[in-house]
Amino acid sequence: MDRVNTYSVNAVITSSQMNSIQDRAVGGEPSAVGNLTGLSAGERVVWFESAVDLANAKVMVVDERNWKDFVVAWTLNIHSGANQEVGGANDYQWDQTVTSGVAYLGLGALDGASAQVTDGNPPVRAAGASWAGDLGGGKWLYVDSFDSYKLKFYNDTGGTLRTPALRVAGTKTNKR
């Protein structure tokens, strides 16, 4: 990480300097050019691993903080066998099926009836109305606007996902 400020002995540190350091604590900075120059400084990162398998047509909470209007980079790890979660007997095989990508979470996702995404009702993307990150093969990462903009994961693969693990890193875009 790059140094934010340099201080000398007995230097006065202002609240604005301390706030600046906190904003950049993870090291994320917006580019000075392009469409995303208004990004918030810093980056939110969450590591999540489910304690249970995720059945088809089910929703799982990944993080309870507000993820509205975030652009994210994600990495998804779906285990292929039993006890591959961290701490399990087979966790030496933890990294067997890993995919990654990027997504814009917008103002949240809706189902096909423009209602809250719930078990059995997956997210459906729609211009200007519903945003969800397509993680491939019926796996979705989205924000639930009906539930305090929590970050959620939906399984619409037709099968059960073994203890899914997600790493999500993102920054608020300040576009919406």
In the chain, where the domains are located: 43-172
133-136 and 150-155 as β-strands: parallel, antiparallel, unpaired? Answer: unpaired
> Tell me, what's the pLDDT at 85?
92
> Tell me, what's the pLDDT at 26?
58
22 pairs with which residues across the strands?
none
Closest to 50 measured CA to CA, from 72, 73, 23, 78: 78
| Three-state SS at 95 | coil
For residues 48 and 168, is the Cβ–Cβ distance under 8 A?
yes
For residues 130 and 110, is the Cβ–Cβ distance under 8 A?
yes
pTM assigned to the model:
0.84
For residues 84 and 93, is the Cβ–Cβ distance under 8 A?
yes
For residues 106 and 137, is the Cβ–Cβ distance under 8 A?
no
Sign of the Cα pseudo-torsion (82, 84, 85, 89, in order): positive
| 131-154 pLDDT tens trace | 999 999 999 999 999 999 999 999
| 75-115 pLDDT tens trace | 999 998 889 999 999 999 998 789 999 999 999 999 999 99
Task: Kindly list the distances between the CA atom of residue 81 and the CA atoms of 38, 88, 90, 109, in Å, as whole numbers in the listed order.
Answer: 43, 11, 8, 31
